[in-house]
Structure 1
Amino acid sequence: MASQYPTVPSPAADATTLTPFKYSNRVLLKTLLERADQRPELIGQRVVIGGWVKSSQEVKKSSPITSSLHGDKKADESKTKDVTCVEIIQSKIPLIRSILEAFGGSGGCKKNESVTPKPTPPQPSTVYLMVTDGSSVASLQVVVDSSLAPPSKLRPTGTCILVEGFLKKPSAKGKRVIELEADRILHIGTVDPDKYPLSKKRLPLDMLRGFSHFRPRTTTVASVMRIRSAVSFATHSFFEHHAFFDVQVPIITTSNYEGFGKMFSVISLEQKADKEKLNTIDEIEGINLETVKAAVREKSNLVENLKRSDSNREALVAAVQDLNKTNELASQLEARGKMKSASSFKADKIDSSEEFFSCQTYLTASGGLHLETYACALGNVYSFGPRFQADKTDSSKQAAEMWMVEAEMAFAQLEDSMRCAMDLLKYLCKWVCENCSEDMNFVAKRIDNACVSRLQQTVSGPSEIVSYRDVIDILRKVTDKNFETNIQWGVSLTTEHLSYLADNVFKKPVMIYNYPKEAKPFFLRVNDDMRTVAAFDLVVPKVGVIVSGSQNEERLDMIISRIKELGLPREKYEWYLDLRRHGTVKHSGFTLRFDLLILFITGLTNVRDVIPFPRSHGKIMN
């Protein structure tokens, strides 16, 4: 099908020609603005661009009379010489008519004749639009003459435009080195300023969360999402470069992971609807159907009598409404009887055999256990996807749906996993510094002026590696702060403890390893001291733990002992135990909390501001 938009010349024809986006025949502003100051050959090129208006200004053009008053006198005189006598008389007619009217004359018109004034045409103007298409932080100034479109349609913030024109140098000096003078408008997506939420300048991030369908149009959220996209790409690049295979683990699982908090239960909508119907019907238990039918008959007779009598209309209306309600109650009672006789399950209990799955299922909180099965076949594997926790705490570092990067390596021990996790963090931070400089400069200016230096320090500087035992000793010696949780062996380190270590003690990423086994899940490898397990956490400033990893237990007897010790249902983990029965191998891995990594990179403080569509307790928009 032929494109509805004009064709931009192919870059093959001229090496200096801008390359349009392949699938919409428009030039991305990123390619246009990145090096416009270094590419003078762009001036004069004809392009099509599209985007959304961020700001605008309308400048009225001078009228012809004003121009002649302030123009060149010689030019005016030359024009006067060419004017004929007839034209002079015609131009003076309005003046003659005004003089006659002043002396009581009609000027050739009747006194009582009503003269409808002609509508004054709008004064010509030029509209200057700052347009962004989301491909970069920078915006392009687009100059549009009012003859092409009404300025009132173009100017509101959020208006979408697709225009064609020539690139030129800006008429006024400033930061901009190039602008587009439009001569064709191909599309206008209008906006109602009174209803469009982004019409107000600088809405706080917490208010923007209420408009998740519009907030990516803001510069801040757009920059964060471009950074997020780059880090996602870099994550896959890292694992591809180090011979990992990408494996998609299930989102629906039967494993109720210990140590991952509350999980979401999965239930089919059909059976849930049946249960709700039964619960509704049970609310009218104890009402006899025959009694209600007798009441219907009595009220029907009353309505008939009122219709035949001369009673007032209000009494009849009230009687009809009462009859309708009684009929509705009778219908519900009849439906209850039919459902009770046809259904094989009780109202207060769902028969699992009637469910979609034959056993209880959950939204996965971790894909680590499933990933192990592929590590024991493919060697090095990773997964990147959403994980779910039904945590009702209102934490700035937690959401119901968060994305995780999980990796698992066969023939690898705890030290290997720790080294791989740190290499990944350094790789991603370096990638952002090298490939997202414009967005990071904006983030440094708008959000956190130390974000770039923090990333550079992470890339170049060594991380601190300490054991859990050493951390306890360090925190016990702290005198300038009182922690809410007492520091003693065996306690889980809280966010308060970890933040203090990264922000105040080490002031850089710190890796803590060998935790007490009581503080970690059952499947972690027990160390020789029988008190600790081979686990680690990578803690970074301003955020806390962004990576958790471990060497998992490969010994069948030890993992069975841990399952029994914690009182877990062994039958649910028989498939997991099979990996230890058949071809067991030492293996280790880690989980990177992707959303928290974006917090660390950008300096934002609430994870909901770096998730495209955040879900948290009681809050879901679309």
Structure 2
Amino acid sequence: MKHTKVKDLLNSTTTLQEVNAKGWVRTFRNNQFIALNDGSTINNIQCVVDFENTPEETLKRVTTGAAVSVIGTLVESKGAGQKFEIQVTKLEILGDSDAEKFPMQPKKHSLEFLRENAHLRVRTNAFGAIMRVRSVLSFAVHKYFQEKGFVYVNTPVITGADAEGAGEMFQVTSLPLDNLPKNEEGNIDYKKDFFGKATNLTVSGQLEGETFAMALGQIYTFGPTFRAENSNTSRHLAEFWMIEPEVAFNDLHDNMDLAEDFIQYVVKYAVDNCGDDLKFLEGRLLEEEKSKPQADRSEMPLLEKLNFVLENNFKRVSYTEAIDILKDSTPNKKKKFQFIIDEWGADLQSEHERFLVEKHFKCPVIVYDYPASIKSFYMRLNEDGKTVGAMDILFPGIGEIVGGSQREERYDVLIEKMKVIGIDEEELWWYLDTRRFGSAVHSGFGLGFERLVLFVTGMTNIRDVIPFPRTPGSAEF
């Protein structure tokens, strides 16, 4: 008999039908009531076992985490909070179950404990909800760009270029590490490596994406990226996913319009399609907030925060205006900021970004026209000669969620900027070719997918919104 998903059973319009459900036991009460979940929904279906006619040996094996199959009649439930239940006529245990050793018992576990059991944490309500939301958001990303006529491009994971110029990259090699070949100068001879040169895992698909935008008009990438930054914080991962559109003939303002429209689209899609999961996550967060000091509590429940983004136009403010606001702010004057803003040119920190969003403007904020000295070489130099056409989108609770710019399309200007920071022209000859042949104004942005999932789920640690987090000193699973 073909089994039916729990989600479909709970949404059924007919009863008194024989059904087969398969899933994992969340709880088993009074030797009679199984709360069954198969991952299709956060909600369990209650299965009422005829314990008098079920072998005792079978009942003993119905433990938390056990995989079971039940056949029975779908009937209206007499219990509160559930529409249907299954009156079980046949119960079968699928596979083995060691109740005493199963870590995910029906009780509250710390997030740190769950990270140590990342292979099993998705069986909890919280992580099941998070991963379903992540899946829906991933689909929404593709849906948005496909509906807008963008071409999906798979940029390389292995690259010889450092898009950010920061040098924090994981090296890829096939050379024997215990006997590295050396050249005449005594340096590692990368000509004998697999690719004939030094290569790394990518930190961004942007540079390659730009080459495709110069032929296909509008493209996007959505894939894994890697950064060897030794940051053990709640906001950093060594392996993460990036969404990076690039659009020919778009200037900075077009870029801001695209980013705002895109974010509101995917957030709304999640709100419309993940109602049960988001309500659960909101309730979980409200419980957590009760244990925090008043000053550390969120000003908005999760769904209100999501609707806040949907219902408010993003405020656009220049970096210069933002610095003036921050310099004149109470927390800056009273030295409550960890990083005091003294002068123009300072790099904005998360505390500054959140102040602008949550305290000053009280809506999402786009800061644009940053000092050239704190931004990447590929960003277009403005006419003032000291700022670039960069833009960051700032969100409540997160700070920066998007970083983008109008790209420097002028060959001579780009060459000069590369010289200043020491980027070898020969290393990026192919990138420079896009400025030599048919160059045009173009723009793009990058959105770290995990930061988006973090915002939509209301979680506070980025390690909890990716299936298997990769962080300094940890590459389990």
Same fold, TM exceeding 0.5?
yes
SS state at 1:570 partner: coil
Residue equivalent to 1:392: 230
| In 2, Cα distance between equivalents of 1:47 and 1:205 | 36
| In 1, Cα distance between equivalents of 2:120 and 2:70 | 22
Residue equivalent to 1:204: 110
Equivalent positions of 1:88-167 (< 5 A) are 127-146=32-51, 147-149=53-55, 150=57, 152-167=59-74
- Structure with greater proportional strand content: 2
Residue equivalent to 2:4: 27
The yes-or-no answer on 1:52 pairing with 2:29 is no
Deviation at 1:190, TM superposition (A): 3.1
User: Which residue of 414, 417, 431 corresponds with 2:255?
Assistant: 417
Residue equivalent to 1:191: 97
The yes-or-no answer on 1:381 pairing with 2:204 is no
Residue equivalent to 2:294: none
User: Which residue of 197, 200, 203 corresponds with 1:365?
Assistant: 203
Deviation at 1:544, TM superposition (A): 1.0
User: For residues 55-74 of structure 1, what are the alpha-carbon distances to aligned partners after superposition, in whole Å with 9 as ceiling and x for unaligned?
Assistant: 11125xxxxxxxxxxxxxxx
What TM-score, normalized by structure 1, do the two folds share? 0.71
Q: Which moved more, 1:220-229 or 1:442-451?
A: 442-451
Deviation at 1:505, TM superposition (A): 1.6
Deviation at 1:154, TM superposition (A): 3.8
Contact kept? 1:154, 1:188, Cα under 8 Å: no
User: Which residue of 517, 523, 527 corresponds with 2:378?
Assistant: 523
SS state at 2:70 partner: strand
Equivalent positions of 1:62-461 (< 5 A) are 127-146=32-51, 147-149=53-55, 150=57, 152-170=59-77, 172-199=78-105, 201-260=107-166, 262-268=168-174, 271-272=175-176, 275-276=177-178, 278=179, 350-448=188-286, 450-461=301-312
Residue equivalent to 1:473: 324
Deviation at 1:434, TM superposition (A): 1.1
Deviation at 1:413, TM superposition (A): 0.5
Contact kept? 1:261, 1:389, Cα under 8 Å: no
| In 1, Cα distance between equivalents of 2:60 and 2:476 | 29
SS state at 1:198 partner: coil
SS state at 2:321 partner: helix
- Structure with greater proportional helix content: 1
| In 2, Cα distance between equivalents of 1:544 and 1:586 | 28
SS state at 2:49 partner: strand
Deviation at 1:173, TM superposition (A): 3.6
In structure 2, what residue type is equivalent to 1:402? Answer: F
- Tell me the C-alpha RMSD between the 2 structures: 1.8
| In 1, Cα distance between equivalents of 2:89 and 2:167 | 60
| In 2, Cα distance between equivalents of 1:480 and 1:589 | 34
What TM-score, normalized by structure 2, do the two folds share? 0.92
User: For residues 487-540 of structure 1, what are the alpha-carbon distances to aligned partners after superposition, in whole Å with 9 as ceiling and x for unaligned?
Assistant: 211121112211222222222211000000001111111000011000000000
Residue equivalent to 1:507: 362
User: For residues 17-43 of structure 1, what are the alpha-carbon distances to aligned partners after superposition, in whole Å with 9 as ceiling and x for unaligned?
Assistant: xxxxxxxx3111111113x5xx2x2x2
Kindly report structure 1 stretches of 4+ aligned residues shifted beyond 6 Å: 343-346
User: For residues 245-279 of structure 1, what are the alpha-carbon distances to aligned partners after superposition, in whole Å with 9 as ceiling and x for unaligned?
Assistant: 100000000002335561111112xx33xx32x59
Q: Which moved more, 1:523-532 or 1:146-155?
A: 146-155
Deviation at 1:387, TM superposition (A): 0.8
User: Which residue of 473, 484, 493 corresponds with 2:338?
Assistant: 484
Greater Rg, structure 1 or structure 2?
Answer: 1
SS state at 1:480 partner: helix
SS state at 2:145 partner: helix
Structure 2 portions without partners, runs of 5+: 287-299
| In 2, Cα distance between equivalents of 1:152 and 1:467 | 66
SS state at 1:470 partner: helix
In structure 2, what residue type is equivalent to 1:163? Answer: V
Residue equivalent to 1:334: none
SS state at 2:376 partner: coil
| In 1, Cα distance between equivalents of 2:90 and 2:63 | 19
User: Which residue of 530, 546, 554 corresponds with 2:409?
Assistant: 554
SS state at 1:392 partner: coil
Q: Percent identity?
A: 38
| In 1, Cα distance between equivalents of 2:224 and 2:66 | 34
Residue equivalent to 2:291: none
The yes-or-no answer on 1:464 pairing with 2:315 is yes
In structure 1, what residue type is equivalent to 2:310? Answer: V
| In 1, Cα distance between equivalents of 2:282 and 2:106 | 23
| In 2, Cα distance between equivalents of 1:398 and 1:404 | 13
Structure 1 portions without partners, runs of 5+: 1-5, 7-24, 60-126, 280-342
Instruction: Tell me: CA distance 1:259–1:489, structure 2 relative to 1, closer, same or farther (3 Å).
Output: farther
In structure 1, what residue type is equivalent to 2:70? Answer: V
